[in-house]
Amino acid sequence: MASLYFFHEAVIPSHKSFLSDTKTLKKSDPLYKQKKWYLDVDKQTWTMKSASGSLKLVANYIAAQQPSNKTVVIAHGFMGSKETMGAYAYLFHQLGYNVLLPDARAHGASGGQYIGYGWPERKDNVKWINKIIATNGQNSQIVMFGVSMGGAATMMTSGEKLPSQVKAFVEDCGYDNTRTEIAYQAKELYHVPSFPLVYIVSGINKIKNGFFFGEASSVKQLHKNDRPMMFIHGSEDKFVPISMVYQNYDATRGPKELWVVKGAKHAASLDHETNKYQLKVKTFLAKYVE
């Protein structure tokens, strides 16, 4: 019974008491301007079938202000959606990118019963990338960006066989492995040891969701990546411990850069250092995307 309860908490989309409300836009929000822009900007709706072929996936597409071959794919976090990534969409739009914001499986308008923690989404992201190339042309230059679970999805995608149009990745506060992240949260939020609970829940996930938690490894995927990767992590992150970013950084084989944002909590680096965040991302990507 305990295992089924924790499976529901970890894998079934529902209200999570440990997550704050990010859907209501308030003028006191330091990123109000950026998020308001996203609400008002013209968007196209893109759809496709998941990599498994069984689910309908939905994304918003925002064309660059001036015609551009540059496109970014933005991956949201746990229990987020494309609508929660408006400030990041604004950032990349300011840098001259087309922006594609997919809803992950079981999030937002996309189909699915179970949260994938980036693992099945890595295959979906490859399909989104190929859809961009088919729509925008062979001269496309593609960047992938993600925050939290989306950061993990970005790293997991980097280890797949990708077209040459994918030029670089930027991940913000992603975890090293789904099992270690869930084990950490079991201890921090519920004060229960990882063994045997997390391993039993992982077995349930294998039956219902198709993979053991330990398979969903950013580190293992990064070992296969030789493209440029920027890593961002808040020094005060208590949700995805900062120790994980060093393991991720060490694992990737391509050109890399690490920025630890002093004083920033989980997924709050953009709030904490808005101008510097944009400058850092702009400077890093300018080396690899024309």
pTM of the model: 0.96
pLDDT at 24 over 90: no
Residue 22 in contact with residue 38, Cβ under 8 Å?
no
Query: What tens digit of pLDDT does each residue of 178-188 get?
Result: 999 999 999 99
Residue 218 in contact with residue 243, Cβ under 8 Å?
no
C-alpha 148/C-alpha 80 separation (Å) is 10
22 or 27: whose pLDDT is higher? Answer: 27
Instruction: Band the pLDDT of 110: cuts 50, 70, 90.
Output: very high
Residue 124 in contact with residue 160, Cβ under 8 Å?
no
pLDDT at 95 over 90: yes
**Average pLDDT for 36-57:** 97
pLDDT at 21 over 90: no
Residue 18 has a pLDDT of 67
**Average pLDDT for 104-129:** 98
Share of the chain above pLDDT 70, in %: 98
Residue type, 6: F
**Average pLDDT for 277-282:** 98
Residue 23 has a pLDDT of 67
Residue 143 in contact with residue 72, Cβ under 8 Å?
yes
**Locus of tokens 């498994």:** 52
- Token pair recorded at residue 87: 């400030």
Instruction: Band the pLDDT of 240: cuts 50, 70, 90.
Output: very high
**Average pLDDT for 106-122:** 98
Q: Tell me the fold of 56-174+228-246+256-290.
A: Rossmann fold (3.40.50)
pLDDT at 84 over 80: yes
Residue 100 in contact with residue 61, Cβ under 8 Å?
yes
Instruction: Band the pLDDT of 189: cuts 50, 70, 90.
Output: confident
**Average pLDDT for 244-268:** 98
